[in-house]
Structure 1
Amino acid sequence: MATPSVAPQPSAPVPRRGNPLRRRTDSLRFWVRVLFASALALAVALTVLLGLRLYADGRADAARQAAGLHRVDTVAASQPVSAGVDAWVATLTWSDATGAHRAQAPVPPATAPGDHVPLWVDAKEVPQPDPIPAVQSAGSAATYSLAIFSGSVLLLSGGYALARHRIDACAWKSWEAEWAKVEPEWTHRH
């Protein structure tokens, strides 16, 4: 067997617009996919920005909450008693430049009399809840962002599925109409 004198050349690519087999619905499918991917990328970017904003707001709230408070080292003067589900309170004592103080405040359930318990108090030495920790701010921001992203993905996926369904329905109608024209010639039923 003889080898050809000229190497075979690949066929030229068929232009997209000039391809007689490419239908309008094929182009619509392509653009719907591009739009869906772009919308998902935008949803990711907006969700990240939202999460960062929520975290920054949480930290700012914690800073405002802590601005009027100071931390004191107290001593538990009594055994903790239950104050509800997973809530324990005990009598705590501490002294500072203004004198000795005594107050009921939340404590861990394993606190024993004589244990040192840190406590946040305001200018009037009234116990206050601890400022929001950074971990809680990050967790809240991540939870809200994930929920919003999940909802947007669900909404976008539903829109994408609906668009594909309508495009496919149009394509089937077009194919049926064209087949109705071509079938008699192919089957010789005029």
Structure 2
Amino acid sequence: MPTGSTRNNPLRRPSDRLQWWLGRVLLTIVVVGLPTASASAGVLSYRAQLHTGQVQSTTRHSVTAQLTADAAMPSSNQSTGKVPATAAWAGSDGTTRTTTVQVWPGEKAGTPVAVWVDARDTVTSAPVTRGQASAAGWTAAAVTATSVPLLCLAAWKGSVHVLDRHRFAQWDAEWSQVEPHWSKRLPN
């Protein structure tokens, strides 16, 4: 069993020590930083989406529109999902507004549908819900949980590549000095 520490090994080059320390730093980043980064990204995304939803809730409202015609029935080669239909509602200024909505096939004219509009009666999307904010938070956490190890792996591979190129260049330079003493060359 060796009595000396491998850290004090005289054959260990500075590039070997650098590679050893870099590996420990990157491993620490993955072990400690990954949970921290994932949780932070998830929470920040969740809070940002909640804030967006709150702002949207103050600037948007739902109006009840009625279909102006029966919704089309899908042909035999179409899917059985929702189909576009025209709906109308009275705007805040009393004028009739229309938009295209997605409804189930066969809905009858006059069927009420919810339409989200802003202060200018422009059709917009519904405000972000808690569920959507939660999904955005989980997605951000998952992307971060995948990205941190991949970035650390890329940093490790890249640094080892650079260090190996440096070591190979050193070996070539040293060998060019030693090799003439070890081998006999034929004169030209």
TM-score, L = length of structure 2: 0.58
- Cα displacement (A) at 1:18: 3.3
Higher mean C-alpha displacement, 125-134 vs 160-169: 125-134
1:25 aligned residue: 15
* 1:108 maps onto 2:102 in alignment: yes
Deviates more, 1:146-155 or 1:131-140: 146-155
Q: Which residue identity is paired with 1:18?
A: N
Greater C-alpha Rg: 1
Displacement, 1:167? 2.0
Q: Which amino acid aligns with 2:15?
A: T
**In the alignment, does 2:20 pair up with 1:49?**
no
| Corresponding pairs, count | 169
Unpaired segments of 5 or more residues in structure 1?
Answer: 1-10
Shift of the alpha carbon at 1:61?
1.2
1:166 matched to 2:156: no
Report matched runs for 1:65-144 at 5 Å. Answer: 65-79=56-70, 88-92=84-88, 103-110=97-104, 111-121=107-117, 128-140=124-136
Q: Is the 1:76–1:93 Cα contact (8 Å) retained in structure 2? A: no
**Higher RCO by CA contacts (8 Å cutoff, separation 6 or greater):** 2
Aligned-CA RMSD value: 4.5
For residue 17 of structure 1, what is the amino acid of its counterpart? Answer: R
Deviation at 1:58, TM superposition (A): 1.5
Q: 1:169, 1:101 → 2: CA distance?
A: 74
Structure 1 residue 164, shift from structure 2 partner: 1.1
Structure 1: which amino acid aligns with 2:26?
A: F
TM-score normalised by structure 1 residue count:
0.58
Q: For structure 2, which runs of at least 5 residues remain unmatched after alignment?
A: 73-81
